[in-house]
Structure 1
Amino acid sequence: MTLLDGITSRLIDTDRLTVNILERAGDDAETTPDHTLVLIHGNVSSSLFWQELMQDLPAELRVIAIDLRGFGGTESLPVDATRGVRDFSDDVHATLTALGIETAHFVGWSMGGGVVMQYALDHPVLSLTLQAPVSPYGFGGTRRDGSRLTDDDAGCGGGGANPDFVQRLTDRDMSDDAPSSPRNVFRTTYVAPGYTSDHEDIWIESMNTTSTAEGNYPGDGVESPNWPGFGAGKIGVLNTMAPRYFDTSGIVDLAVKPPILWVHGTADAIVSDASFFDLNQLGVAGVIPGWPGEEVAPAQPMISQTRDVLDAYAAAGGEVTELTLEGVGHSPHLERPAEVRRAILALIGYIGKTVYPAPPTETIIISSSD
């Protein structure tokens, strides 16, 4: 039983593939775009992770959570990583087209943040909420300005996946008997210490929907003369975020700039300026031997990169609100749901908002009267 009360699922046939979506029972299919919210999950997850947020949003909204290809109940066609995340964003567009939705407000989590940024580069959107998003310059292998460290993106992509974790996803492992089990990966990296939920089994089931078929997660790798010995391949999920293929910093130049909400936690183990999912950071820490040093293989400053791009977006006339949550991990919508909900509702104009001057951490605090 993976669906919570009031949540329904159905398959949508598109001109690209068959897509699974979650909706709320009773939502009106005729709801206008300004009251329509589209939720896009991250890597090794599915739409199931959005259910608590869906339940808590006002009934006047139409809320749709989409499974990306190879996740949840959506068809697991191969992912062409040389297109960045465009296979995913094009699938989202095909799904919304089949539903008769021309535009909407978008929420993207982690890799899904990259997907909705790419979507905004290709199609009009009303707003973007980026929750713990992948850097606009991809995952790994770049300096703060987005320039690539090597021509083959050494240390990035599918070659860096833990084989035991991949096998456990294939086996749909629900145990907690090893550090690399999906349950322990969730507990130690998806959320900050101290988070508990009666729905943890659902979150692990969601992770286990990840397709590990060829062309899906994690993707291929190639040999590299550069440390740590492999570079990004051309197929599969992790390679979509390699910097040779992924760059959404072009949102700064959008002629029509949707308002952006950036939500992130200070205890995020996955997306940070010192991410332990970045192999260069593991080299810095001595976990992987032979690290060639800061000049050659610096850790990717993911948060700083995102802030730089969003600062440029604001300087170019866009509206950006940053919500930093102290002690929160990679899943703010699970860990601090009320604050995330209020921030989203303020962004889309459903409730009024007051934006206070940013404190030294550059966090913008949102308050509302609801």
Structure 2
Amino acid sequence: FLLKEELRITRRKLTPKMSLTCKILTSFLLIFAVSTKGEVSENTEVIWGCLDHDINLDIPGFQMNDRVADTRWDKNKIKIAQLKQDKPPYQITDTYVMLNNGTLKIKALKRNDSDVYTVSVYDLNGKNILEKAFDLKIQEMVSKPVISWSCTNRTLICEVAKGSDPKLKLFLNETRIKESHQKAITHKWNSKWTASFNCVASNNVGAQTSTVTISCSGAWWALDAAIHPTSVPLAEKGLDIYLIIGVCGGGTVFLVFVALLVFYISKRKKQRSRRNDEEMEIRGKRVTPEERGWKPHQVPGSTPQNPAMSQTPPIPGHRSQAPTHRPRPPGPRVQHQQKKRPPPTLGKQVHLQKGPPLPKPRVQTKPPCEVEENS
């Protein structure tokens, strides 16, 4: 038991001393780390590169001469390019190009090209005469900002579609009135004026500018003042978007109406022409069969005219009974048509002249007597 108690006492005495020693050691290491970081940051230069563009990493304050034997570029402590005296340059890939003045060219920057690049220069004796680090950061170029505004809401919006970490600045008559690190900036006003707005979108690799002139006057001001007396609409050069949509919609409806009207009229004309054609065809079909039926009725009547020179009463009477088996309505129609129309042919005229129409009723009374005598 005595040994255990002595061990516990010694442990209690040693633990505070060990904790104090650890604290001193850690604080010393932190101070050393901070100091080394400060030296590296002072020797490292930050360079911004544009995405999908080339960049040249120039060595500041350096000029190639005969005393320089070796120039080496490293990316994250990995050799990517080297230029030795009296030897062809070395490039690890086609993306990197080593120029004769020691500059490193990087083609078509990508996102993964962002890293720390270090250049080391040695003389003929192998002594390091220069060492420089470059922290390459890559951003996408900002697009041209788009300015839009509304007459009824009294608002102006400037926005940019593309770009890494854009910074927007809005100027009114060359005076900065608003600034934002977002992709859109909005401005409202409560007065009536005519002014010029300038919107600038920028980042570390480039900048783009758009300018517009806005006039809050005219019909837009009168219309909005009648509806909202305290508000001031923003007038644009030209027409408001709602008015444009309304005009386009009304014009489209009108064109559709005119097209339908023209189509309806043309269809009606076609129907009328078809009806007229059908009526003409029907009339033609009605006339031709009557003419055809009238001709054979006259032809057998004309044949017995030759024997009529010898026996006039019996033969016409006998021939007149032959058509009695047929329906009689065609007979009166033919006579009615003969009364209305003149004889169409010369043959018919000759037949009328040779056979007078007056004896025909008398001949029709005689056939019954002749039939009784024959019977």
- Does the alignment reach a TM-score above 0.5? no
User: Larger helix proportion, structure 1 or 2?
Assistant: 2
Bigger Cα Rg: 2
User: Larger strand proportion, structure 1 or 2?
Assistant: 2
TM-score w.r.t. length of structure 2: 0.16
The structure showing larger relative contact order (alpha-carbon pairs under 8 Å, at least 6 residues apart) is: 1
TM-score w.r.t. length of structure 1: 0.16
